[in-house]
Amino acid sequence: MKTVFSVLTVVAGIVVIWYLACVPMNIKGVLDQAQRAGEKVVPDTANARRDAAALGLVAKNTFAINRVWSVDRPRLPAPHQVVTELWQTTVMKKVTSKRSLIYHAHVTLSATLLGFALGTGLGILLSVGIVHSRVMDMSVMPWAIVSQTIPIIALAPMIIVVLYSIGVQGLLPKAIIAAYLSFFPVVVGMVKGLRSPDQMQLDLMRTYGASGGQLFWKLRLPSSMPYLFASLKIGIAASLVGAIVGELPTGAVAGLGARLLAGSYYGQTVQIWSALFAAAILAGLLVALLGLVERTLLGRMGVKS
């Protein structure tokens, strides 16, 4: 109960700050509109207003304050505008409609999940190699780290262009970008996890004359599970970011990234914000789902939670 209260307090605080921020952000637009409608505004030219401080404009034109939360194309949409847009583009639209956020989320989610599966698989394979081979440890790990220092926004168009030139398009290029972001936390976490058994546990397996395979399946892999899930939670969120970024450079027509892009072309800030929220909610659901799988699996493995 106490936690619920604390969480609600923080949420309420954020909403209040958001509403307050709408005032200086949107005041110029509101005043321009008011002037066009023939109302008296201080100062009375758009040029003068452009250079004026936002808070000063608010002080001089208090009559306009209550309009900043219902602007048609606001710089910063008010929370209720975003919620209304979310409601209308999810519940009120058929999921097959091109304007349904659920449809767009589904497109992005497919690429996210495929990319996540590819990235996790690659990450686990690499970590197994790194743990078992010193050569791989020395040679692969630096490249894995370097790969993550390149901004994905620079790399994504190249990946898409290169794949397009060899005839691959659609879901796969986006999934590969998602995989590119999600394999790294899995590699780092699994290397740590596979190396987590202490010397005594390794010695114990040696006294049984365990083979390398037995050592891996019976000791290293089970030991690494808590690390794997921590990595997967980071990985799936990174995957979603990758899928969205993958939709930007192609001018894709479907997906949350496409919604973001279209929104920014046409100045539809409400649409941008609702797409952002859809992405955030989606990421939250995916991470929560992984948490559920983690609790079930580790619970069955007898790990105290």
Partner 1 sequence: MKTTSQVDSVPNAAQPVIEARALNLVFGSGATSVQALKDINLTIDKGDFVSFIGPSGCGKTTFLRCIAALETPTGGSLTVNGMTPEEARKQRAYGYVFQAAGLYPWRTISKNIKLPLEIMGYSKAEQDRRVAEVLELVELSGFGGKFPWQLSGGMQQRASIARALAFDADLLLMDEPFGALDEIVRDHLNEQLLKLWARTNKTIGFVTHSIPEAVYLSTKIVVMSPRPGRIHEIIDSPLPKERPLDIRDSAEFIEIAHRVREGLRAGHGHD
Question: For the chain, what is the HEC assignment?
Answer: CHHHHHHHHHHHHHHHHHHHHHHHHHHHHHHHHHHHCCCCCCCCCHHHHHHCCHHHHHHHCHHHHHHHHHCCCCCCCCHHHHHHHHHHHHCCCCCCCCCCHHHHHHHHHHHHHHHHHHHHHHHHHHHHHHHHCHHHHHHHHHHHHHHCCCCHHHHHHHHHHHHHHCCCCCHHHHHHHHHHHHHHHHHHHHHHHHCCCCHHHHHHHHHCCCCHHHHHHHHHHHHHHHHHHHHHHHHHHHHHHHHHHHHCCCCCCCCHHHHHHHHHHCCCHHHHHHHHHHHHHHHHHHHHHHHHHHHHHHHHCCCCC
Provide, rounded to whole angstroms, the least separation between the CB of residue 297 and partner 1. 10
- In the list 29, 56, 157, 222, the residue contacting partner 1 (rule: CB under 8 A) is 222
Q: Is 218 in the site for partner 1 (CB under 8 A)?
A: yes
Number of residues that bind partner 1 (CB under 8 A): 19
Provide, rounded to whole angstroms, the least separation between the CB of residue 204 and partner 1. 6
Residue closer to partner 1, measured from CB, 91 or 303 = 303
Provide, rounded to whole angstroms, the least separation between the CB of residue 303 and partner 1. 6
Residue closer to partner 1, measured from CB, 150 or 204 = 204
Q: Is 95 in the site for partner 1 (CB under 8 A)?
A: no
Provide, rounded to whole angstroms, the least separation between the CB of residue 305 and partner 1. 11
Q: Is 151 in the site for partner 1 (CB under 8 A)?
A: no
Query: CB under 8 A: which stretch of 37-45, 83-91, 114-122, 197-205 binds partner 1?
Result: 197-205
Q: Is 296 in the site for partner 1 (CB under 8 A)?
A: no
The site for partner 1 (CB under 8 A) is made up of 200-201, 203-210, 214, 218-219, 222, 225, 301-304
